[in-house]
A and B are shown apart, each in its own frame.
Chain A
Amino acid sequence: MGMNKGKETVTVEALLRLKRNEQPSEDFWNTFEIDFERRRLNALVERESLPQPFWPTVLKVASVALPALILSAVAYFWMGPDNYAASRSEQPSKPVAQIERPLLPVELPSSRGMRATEVMHLAVREGSHNSQFVLDALREEQADRSLNFRKVLYSPAIHLSSPTGSFYVNDSLSSRNYKVTTADAKIGRNF
């Protein structure tokens, strides 16, 4: 209780407990209830009128942007800042070999743990540009024995997926593997 009757002293605790009885009246709670209901309805309306929840949108964007950002950063450090900048600014020169028909996709050997779809073997027509590096020209002998050349392209992400730092591009037509060297990658070899 905090009070000694004999000595008639009052303790701090007893004084503080007086504050427990500082209570508002019933009217106060009636007003409180009405105000609270109004505010809660406002909060509900505000919440429902928001165009989209903030965090889910951020997460959705981040799930796409983050891997791309990480891959770019790794590519940047792996290739070296100078070469990366140079390769980014370098425009592909006019191809010497014309591609006469759509090409089959290049597949990486599965033993290297790379996804075939990540290596794009694209038909680059004259004047078209993309951000991929030209690594090699594959010579194809056509049925009529004429020669055709095509470019094997890769995106930086593919190269990075190689645990050893180098990888092979498999020509599905000839079933031959072409080793992609670091030098090829760095110079972004063109034809």
Chain B
Amino acid sequence: MSLSKSVDGALPVDSSQAGEAPADNDQVLVSRVQKGDVAAFDHLVRKYRERLFGIIYNLTSNREDAADLTQEAFIKAFSSINRFQGKSAFFTWLYRIGVNTALSHLKRNRFRRFFSLENIQEEGSNAQVIETLAAKHKSEKGALLSELQEKLNEAMQKLSPKHRTVVVLFEIEGLSHQEIAEIVGCSVGTVRSRLHYAKQQLQADLKPFLD
């Protein structure tokens, strides 16, 4: 199964399912799981694991915790799939479980934080941004990337979990305000306002890279 992440804003898609209506397909899979077809849930796991992991990873900044919490979120979804009535899209329901699982984890471990990060791949528009930054700072790309990743991570972790969630879902995962509002359980206005505030904070913290 090959999953690819789009580089410039669009949601990551499963290339093997290009052309299908994702919501319909999810609905079919969910209803099969609800009838006891466990294998159908495996399809959903393979379809959403990267994105769910991405959300949780960017909330926790720890790859081991993120892997554990992603599995936990899938187990929760599997256990309570009979309660899913299809009023919202499956992925918003799943992401809500994932976000809540991650936020609970952050709350429980707010004084114990270890970061372990994945490497940033130089691909597409990323490569361009990195080139620009390297030229501007007259530094070697590898060193720049490490520093940038560290600063990005620090800046993200300075945000409150609520603000971080909105930034992750909007800027990194590319979800709409409406989808985020459904996942987080607040109004679209609140999502916009949290996003605005969070970006101001990030702007201030990442100033050396932005000037």
| Interface residues, chain A, with chain B CB atoms under 8 Å away | 1-3, 8-24, 28-29, 31-32, 35-36, 39-40, 43, 47
Contact = CB atoms under 8 A, between A and B. Distances in A.
Contacts of B75: 36, 39-40, 43
A18 B171 contact: no
29 contacts: A2-B129, A3-B125, A8-B135, A8-B136, A9-B211, A13-B171, A14-B129, A15-B148, A15-B202, A16-B202, A17-B8, A18-B126, A18-B148, A20-B7, A20-B126, A20-B172, A22-B58, A22-B118, A22-B119, A22-B121, A22-B149, A23-B50, A23-B54, A32-B49, A35-B71, A36-B45, A36-B71, A40-B74, A40-B75
A150 B209 CA distance: 98
Contacts of A1: 8, 125, 128
Contacts of B71: 32, 35-36, 39
A24 B67 CA distance: 10
A43 B148 contact: no
A14 to B, nearest CB: 5
B133 interface: yes
Nearest to A35: B71
A189 B5 CA distance: 84
Nearest to A24: B118
A1 B202 CA distance: 17
Interface of B: 5, 7-9, 12, 45, 49-50, 53-54, 57-58, 63, 67, 70-72, 74-75, 78-79, 117-123, 125-126, 128-130, 132-133, 135-136, 148-149, 152, 167, 171-172, 199, 202-203, 206, 209-211
Contacts of A32: 49, 53, 67, 70-71
A18 B152 contact: yes
A43 B50 contact: no
A12 B199 contact: yes
A36 B74 contact: yes
B171 A17 contact: yes
A3 to B, nearest CB: 6
Contacts of B7: 17, 20
A17 B210 contact: no
Given A15-B209, A16-B171, A20-B5, 15 more contacts: A3-B128, A8-B136, A14-B129, A16-B202, A17-B126, A19-B172, A21-B120, A21-B123, A22-B119, A23-B50, A24-B118, A28-B63, A32-B53, A39-B75, A40-B74
B203 to A, nearest CB: 5
Nearest to B121: A21
A19 B152 contact: yes
